[in-house]
């Protein structure tokens, strides 16, 4: 059985897009099924580990720009994924860390934020999943690994976006154990490589999407499709967060104990 | 009636503008005192509640615990069913280095997830914070309200110096709050910091001041409380923000209640001034009344005329008094706020906006006071027959009433008040009200006859020293017994209030001083916070060992006080190493002895309670005090009862080992350091300062300095009482001026004749000054026993009722001395205008008068 999952975190999106694109051709002859599409996408784009340096730019509605730099590490995939982000720039925020560890059984992952000034980590509670991730347009749920098995999915049709044909898939959180801040998500998968192209996020009780994520600048790195640019727009606030991915490396062994609280709390630990 | 008011009353006002203004002033001062105290009091209480409510935001429940809520509790609560969100909070009051900006309330919250609780009004969303990541990453980050930032000239990115326990610290404004909802708490003087930064800043360790809880939709408050109480156990208090606000109000209730007596007195004195003024007005206008009666006016119409005048004075005086009160109320509020913060650790802030209820109450009281004051004279006026009215002098010659009955009723009322004070048949506010009513009525009824008796003795004495002036003043005073007794009554009431309250203040202060001298006997006190009741910072328990190692240190004791609720009241639980403490302190025992105390506290795990605790809760040696601790309910047997003035709600004393055992908290408020014989206290102090520098905030005071600081805090408490004393004296002053002006006006003809016979203006002035002095002296002589009775009542049954304390009486000699100096000066000053008026009178016009 395939267990393809769309990964929400930047790297994971890129990986998933890569996977999806490869199954696109094989599915073109038959009437496609949303679950099968997502599984195939995961299968194509799955990687064991991923490292990259991110350049984060937040532009608010007044046009004020804030830039940050981080390093991202991932091990595992979807339901067993471990992620560590360490801010490296500017100096005032250097050392701030974020650790996310997936939990089994469809539960929400454990997440912690480390602040060097306090020399201690703080746990992100379930109630805070909709809080902004350090002032970006991503929230803490957006930072989680996306597991399509936690969603009821349905193919809603096909659509051309920027002249690229896409499958339109509706994903509704099942919420058996873990809760979601979203009522539904609309995923746009490229038909050519089953890579995620766009995602519209609908908050509970809202008819219009609250946020929109677009993956762009799709390139092949070490044999994997990767979107080097990821843009999250808050459609209500009018702000945009862009992550540019650099120095991308796949499937390298990770340092022992990298994804632990001890390492998160270690000054300069990565 | 309108015609009568326009012709008779207005013409009287025009002819006697000064007297009318003085009568009006009586109402104004009375109402101003009442309205300023009431509106300041109202704003204080409202401010306390509003701060609690606004800071609470959407929180439906709040979890607190003595000593702080451990961090781990948050995760425990979050996992419970029915809990939508929890958010930790730390609250602290700090002052900016620029003191004129006023106190700042620091709220430490978890900015990652607090939006479930509070609406921050960042004009949009979090992103409008200058930089949320920078905010979290830098421990000097703070958010200010736009209101405060404007006042302090602070822009986003700018910094401001504030005084925190560890010294002066600069904090950077990395966000501004729009003034709405939450940010309006504490009058907008709000600073928001990250809760974990606040823990570090204010030495909270890994604890929060409280945990705010929001429940899932459909979960009732009762269910939420039951779930939380069951999970957390009895050491935690789970209550709604409203209930917590009420609790805080209760804490300051005793303090606030004292002001009711002050405003009541101010009004009572005002009533006597009005009574006096109307009495004289009736006397002066008896011919007008006679004419009216001769023309067919009914007694009822005459009475109504005077009452209508009183109504007008009441309305005008009430309005002006309310307006005047607003100007004083802000100052009152500031003083009250500082006192409640210092003494009770309860914070409030706000700008006094005169509440409509207070305006209405003040107006009504002004009117009621005027009508009560004028009722008697108006009734007298209605009973004047036309023939009597036209017969000059008969009115003055009339005896003032059935003095036998009056004296009997007065003696019974006063006697009953004294008996009730000695053996109160019931308690609470009804007791206080009955006491004041009976005592007040007794004094009022007895002052008249006693005044006459007193003047009959004083006038010959005055005549011996100043034959002419003495005789003139004596004749005036005795010739118009009604006016004289009315003035002296107002005077005596004012002075009774001054001496009574002064006596009570003196007794309390003496008792506290004696207690401090007996119990604060070590050489140095090492504190982390200047706030006695709500320490900004607590020392870690391990610091004692470091202090102990310093050269010259003989012993170090670790004092810790918490203020838990006991039977709905906030008592104090203190702990210290009693094996060391009992070596240097001699307690005053009301039950048990030092051996029982030592054995009980150190070996048997018992407690010792203060005498006011014992009296309040009717518990003594052999009985048990059940306290709620983090380890559950613990019942401590009482080993002894000692005299202690640490808390007005009662104190339970435990050995430190017991406290640590049950409260699992070894933090320390104050380290009491004793130095070795022959060691230099100053040098040891320097060593302690050097050791703690850069590590902990430390205020190291010598014994004398420490006592002086506590005394200063207590003085702040009494400062407000002094203001009301001043107001009482002001009313008395107005009373004398008004009485003397009336006296001069009434004796116009007599003064004219005296001047025609060769009397000098100076001689006349001396007579008037002597008259003022006799009035003041008579008032003082009558106030001496009455003031003493009042002081006995305040420091006896009243203090016992509110605090459980029993204090030995200390006569306020210093206040008496101040009065003996101030009263002649006030009297002479009060006599100045009437004397000048008398001196300027033209002989012919004066003789033609009437």
Q: Is the pLDDT of residue A146 over 90?
A: no
pLDDT in tens, B616-654: 899 999 999 999 888 888 999 999 999 988 888 899 999
Measure CB to CB from residue A135 to each of B85, B115, B126 and give the nearest one.
B126
What's the CA gap between B269 and B779, in Å, rounded? 13
B626 strand-pairing partners: B635
Start-end of H helices in B574-655? 578-584, 594-598, 611-617
Query: Percentage of chain A surpassing pLDDT 90?
Result: 46
Nearest CA in chain B to A138: B127
| pLDDT for res A3 | 36
pLDDT in tens, B716-752: 667 666 666 676 677 677 777 777 777 776 677 777 7
Residue contact B128–A125, C-beta within 8 A: no
CA A236 to chain B, closest CA, distance in angstroms equals: 10
The residue among B398 and A195 whose pLDDT is bigger is: A195
Nearest CA in chain B to A90: B134
Would you give the distance in Å from CA B518 to the centre of its chain?
Answer: 27
Q: B390 falls in which pLDDT band (50, 70, 90)?
A: low
Residue contact A118–B139, C-beta within 8 A: yes
What's the CA gap between A124 and B113, in Å, rounded? 8
| pLDDT for res B299 | 83
What is the mean pLDDT of the segment spanning A22-40? 66
Domain ranges (residues) in chain A? 10-264
Tally the C-alpha atoms within 13 A of residue A170's C-alpha that lie toward its C-beta.
Answer: 9
| pLDDT for res A267 | 63
Q: Is the pLDDT of residue B265 over 80?
A: no
- Does the beta carbon of B197 lie under 8 angstroms from any beta carbon of chain A? yes
- β B190-194/B565-566 pair status: unpaired
Provide, as residue numbers in chain A, all residues whose Cβ is less than 8 Å from the Cβ of B138: 92, 117
CA A157 to chain B, closest CA, distance in angstroms equals: 35
What is the mean pLDDT of the segment spanning A44-54? 89
Provide, as residue numbers in chain A, all residues whose Cβ is less than 8 Å from the Cβ of B125: 132, 237
Instruction: Quote the crossing angle between the two packed helices B403-422 and B428-465, to the nearest 10°.
Output: 130
B565 strand-pairing partners: B570
Residue B643 has a CB neighbour count (10 Å cut-off) of 18
Peptide bond into A193 cis (omega under 30): no
Question: Mind giving me the DSSP string for A120-134?
Answer: EEEEPPGGGTTSBST
Q: B776 falls in which pLDDT band (50, 70, 90)?
A: confident
Hey, what are B455's tokens?
Answer: 């003047």
Query: Percentage of chain B surpassing pLDDT 90?
Result: 16
- Does the beta carbon of B136 lie under 8 angstroms from any beta carbon of chain A? yes
Nearest to A50 by CA among A89, A76, A23: A76
Instruction: Quote the crossing angle between the two packed helices B813-840 and B703-746, to the nearest 10°.
Output: 30
What is the mean pLDDT of the segment spanning B803-823? 81
- Does the beta carbon of B242 lie under 8 angstroms from any beta carbon of chain A? no
* Cβ(B228)–Cβ(B211) below 8 Å: no
Using only the alpha carbons of chain B, give its radius of gyration. Answer: 32
* Pairs from A107-111 (Cβ < 8 Å, separation ≥ 24): A107/A177, A107/A178, A108/A144, A108/A177, A108/A178, A108/A179, A109/A81, A109/A144, A109/A145, A111/A140, A111/A143, A111/A144
Domain ranges (residues) in chain B? 1-54+251-398, 61-239, 399-519+713-850, 538-696
Hey, what are B8's tokens?
Answer: 């008779």
Question: Mind giving me the DSSP string for chain A?
Answer: --------SHHHHHHHHHHHHHHHHHHTTS---HHHHHHHHHHHH--SEEEEEEEEEEE-TT--EEEEEEEEEEES-GGG-EEEEEEEESGGGTT-EEEEE--STTPPPEEEEEETTTTEEEEPPGGGTTSBSTTSS-BTTTTSPP-GGGEEEEEEEEEEETTEEEEEEEEEE--SSS--SEEEEEEEEETTTB-EEEEEEEETT-SS-SEEEEEEEEEEETTEEEEEEEEEEETTTTEEEEEEEEEEEESPPPPTTTTSHHHHTSTT--
Start-end of H helices in B480-577? 481-519, 543-548
- β B207-215/B61-70 pair status: antiparallel
Nearest to B26 by CA among B373, B443, B436, B376: B373
- Tokens 């004495």 correspond to B461
Q: What is the largest CA-CA distance in chain B?
A: 100
Q: A112 falls in which pLDDT band (50, 70, 90)?
A: very high
- Tokens 């009287």 correspond to B12
Residue B290 has a CB neighbour count (10 Å cut-off) of 19
Q: What is the dihedral of CA B179, B185, B190, B193, to 10 degrees?
A: -100
- Does the beta carbon of B71 lie under 8 angstroms from any beta carbon of chain A? no
| Mean of pLDDT over chain B | 81
What's the CA gap between B414 and B435, in Å, rounded? 9
Measure CB to CB from residue A115 to each of B84, B131, B136 and give the nearest one.
B136
| Mean of pLDDT over chain A | 84
CA A147 to chain B, closest CA, distance in angstroms equals: 23
What's the CA gap between B653 and B668, in Å, rounded? 15
Provide, as residue numbers in chain B, all residues whose Cβ is less than 8 Å from the Cβ of A234: 127
Residue contact A126–B136, C-beta within 8 A: no
CATH code of A10-264, in short, is 2.50.20.10
| pLDDT for res A27 | 44
Residue contact B116–A237, C-beta within 8 A: no
Minimum mean pLDDT range among B27-31, B84-88, B220-224, B232-236: B27-31
Measure CB to CB from residue A132 to each of B132, B196, B197 and give the nearest one.
B132
What's the CA gap between A243 and A229, in Å, rounded? 6
Q: Is the pLDDT of residue B185 over 80?
A: no
CA B221 to chain A, closest CA, distance in angstroms equals: 19
Query: Percentage of chain B surpassing pLDDT 70?
Result: 84
| pLDDT for res B126 | 40
Q: Is the pLDDT of residue B350 over 90?
A: no
ipTM above 0.85, yes or no: no
Minimum mean pLDDT range among A36-50, B162-176, B216-230, B261-275: B261-275
B52 strand-pairing partners: none
């Amino acid at each position: 059985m395939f267990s393809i999952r769309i990964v929400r975190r930047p790297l994971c999106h890129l990986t998933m897009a890569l996977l999806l694109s490869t199954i696109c051709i094989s599915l073109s002859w038959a009437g496609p099924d949303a679950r099968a599409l997502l599984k195939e996408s995961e299968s194509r784009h799955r990687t064991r580990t991923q490292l990259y340096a991110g350049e984060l730019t937040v532009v608010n509605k007044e046009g004020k720009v804030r830039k940050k730099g981080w390093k991202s590490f991932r091990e595992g995939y979807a339901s067993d994924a471990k992620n560590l982000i360490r801010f490296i720039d500017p100096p005032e925020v250097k050392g701030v860390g974020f650790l996310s560890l997936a939990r089994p059984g469809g539960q929400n992952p454990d997440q912690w934020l480390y602040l060097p000034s306090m020399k201690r980590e703080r746990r992100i509670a379930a109630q805070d999943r909709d809080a902004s991730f350090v002032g970006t347009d991503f929230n803490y749920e957006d930072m989680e690994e996306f597991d399509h098995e936690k969603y009821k999915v349905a193919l809603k049709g096909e659509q051309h976006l920027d002249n690229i044909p896409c499958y339109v898939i509706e994903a509704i959180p099942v919420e058996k154990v873990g809760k979601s801040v979203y009522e539904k998500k609309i995923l746009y998968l490229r038909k050519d490589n089953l890579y995620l192209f766009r995602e519209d996020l609908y908050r509970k009780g809202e008819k219009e999407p609250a946020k929109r994520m677009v993956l762009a600048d799709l390139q092949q790195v070490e044999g994997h499709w990767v979107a080097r640019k990821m843009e999250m727009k808050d459609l209500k606030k009018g702000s945009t967060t862009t992550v540019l991915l650099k120095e991308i490396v796949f499937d390298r062994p990770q340092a022992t104990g990298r994804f632990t609280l001890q390492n998160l709390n270690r000054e300069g630990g990565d | 009636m309108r015609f009568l008011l326009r012709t008779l009353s207005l013409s009287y006002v025009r002819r006697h503008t000064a007297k009318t203004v003085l009568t009006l002033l009586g109402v104004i001062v009375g109402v101003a005192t009442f309205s300023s105290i009431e509106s300041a009091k109202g704003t204080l209480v409202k401010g306390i509640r509003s701060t609690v409510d606004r800071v609470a935001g959407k929180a439906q429940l709040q979890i607190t615990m003595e000593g702080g809520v451990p961090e781990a509790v948050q995760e425990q609560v979050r996992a419970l069913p029915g809990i939508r969100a929890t958010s930790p909070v730390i609250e602290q009051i700090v002052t900016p280095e620029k003191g004129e900006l006023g106190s700042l309330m620091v709220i430490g919250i978890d900015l990652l997830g607090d939006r479930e609780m509070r609406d921050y009004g960042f004009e949009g969303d979090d992103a409008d914070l200058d930089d949320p990541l920078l905010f979290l990453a830098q421990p000097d980050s703070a958010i200010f309200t736009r209101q405060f930032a404007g006042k302090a000239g602070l822009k986003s990115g700018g910094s401001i110096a504030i005084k925190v326990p560890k010294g002066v610290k600069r904090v950077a404004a990395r966000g501004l709050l729009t003034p709405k909802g939450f940010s309006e708490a504490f009058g907008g003087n709000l600073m928001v910091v990250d809760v974990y930064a606040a823990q570090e800043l204010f030495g909270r360790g890994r604890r929060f001041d409280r945990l705010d809880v929001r429940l899932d939709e459909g979960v009732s408050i009762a269910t939420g409380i039951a779930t939380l109480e069951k999970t957390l156990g009895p050491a935690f208090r789970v209550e709604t923000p409203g209930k917590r606000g009420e609790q805080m109000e209760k804490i300051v209730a005793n303090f606030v209640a004292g002001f009711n007596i002050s405003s009541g007195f101010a009004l009572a004195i005002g009533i006597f001034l009005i009574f006096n003024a109307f009495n004289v007005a009736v006397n002066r206008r008896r011919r007008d009344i006679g004419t009216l009666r001769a023309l067919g006016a009914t007694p009822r119409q005459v009475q109504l005329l005077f009452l209508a005048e009183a109504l007008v004075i009441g309305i005008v005086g009430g309005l002006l008094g309310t307006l005047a009160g607003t100007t004083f109320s802000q100052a009152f509020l500031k003083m009250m706020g500082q006192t409640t913060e210092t003494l009770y650790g309860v914070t409030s802030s706000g700008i006094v906006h005169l509440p409509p209820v207070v305006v209405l109450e003040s107006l009504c009281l002004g009117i009621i006071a005027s009508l009560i004051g004028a009722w008697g004279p108006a009734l007298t006026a209605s009973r004047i027959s036309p023939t009597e009215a036209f017969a000059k002098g008969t009115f003055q010659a009339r005896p003032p009433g059935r003095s036998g009955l009056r004296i009997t009723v007065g003696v019974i009322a006063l006697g009953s008040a004294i008996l009730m004070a000695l053996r109160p048949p019931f308690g609470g506010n009804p007791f206080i009200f009955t006491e004041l009513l009976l005592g007040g009525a007794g004094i009022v009824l007895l002052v008249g006859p006693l005044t006459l008796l007193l003047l009959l003795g004083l006038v010959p004495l005055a005549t011996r020293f100043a034959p002419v002036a003495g005789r003139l003043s004596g004749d005036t005073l005795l010739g118009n017994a009604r006016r004289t007794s009315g003035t002296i009554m107002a005077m005596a009431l004012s002075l009774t209030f001054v001496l009574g309250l002064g006596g009570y203040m003196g007794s309390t202060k003496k008792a506290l001083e004696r207690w401090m001298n007996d119990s604060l006997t070590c050489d140095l006190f090492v504190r982390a916070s200047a706030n006695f009741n709500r320490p900004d910072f607590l020392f870690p328990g391990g610091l004692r060992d470091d202090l102990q190692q310093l050269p010259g240190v003989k012993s170090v004791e670790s004092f810790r006080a918490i203020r838990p609720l006991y039977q709905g009241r906030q008592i104090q639980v203190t702990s210290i190493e009693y094996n060391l403490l009992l070596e240097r302190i001699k307690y005053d025992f009301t039950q048990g002895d030092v051996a029982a105390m030592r054995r009980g506290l150190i070996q048997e795990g018992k407690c010792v309670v203060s005498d006011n605790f014992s009296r309040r809760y009717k518990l003594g040696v052999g009985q048990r005090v059940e306290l709620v601790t983090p380890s559950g309910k613990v019942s401590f047997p009482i080993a002894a009862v000692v005299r202690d003035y640490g808390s007005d709600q009662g104190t339970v004393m435990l050995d430190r080992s017991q406290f640590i055992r049950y409260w699992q908290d070894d933090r320390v408020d104050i380290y009491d350091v004793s130095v070795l014989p022959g060691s230099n206290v100053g040098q040891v102090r320097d060593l302690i300062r050097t050791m703690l520098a850069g590590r902990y905030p430390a205020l190291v005071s010598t014994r004398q300095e420490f006592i002086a600081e506590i005394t200063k805090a207590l003085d702040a408490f009494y400062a407000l009482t002094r203001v009301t004393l001043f107001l009482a004296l002001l009313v008395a002053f107005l009373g004398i001026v008004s009485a003397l002006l009336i006296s001069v006006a009434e004796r116009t003809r007599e003064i004219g004749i005296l001047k025609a016979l060769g009397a000098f203006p100076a001689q006349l002035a001396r007579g008037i000054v002597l008259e003022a002095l006799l009035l003041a002296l008579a008032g003082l002589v009558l106030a001496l026993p009455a003031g003493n009775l009042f002081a006995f009542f305040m420091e006896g049954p009243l203090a016992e009722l509110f605090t459980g304390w029993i204090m030995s009486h200390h006569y306020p000699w210093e206040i008496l001395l101040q009065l003996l100096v101030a009263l002649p000066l006030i009297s002479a000053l009060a006599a100045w205008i009437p004397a000048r008026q008398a001196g300027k009178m033209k002989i012919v016009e004066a003789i033609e008068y009437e």
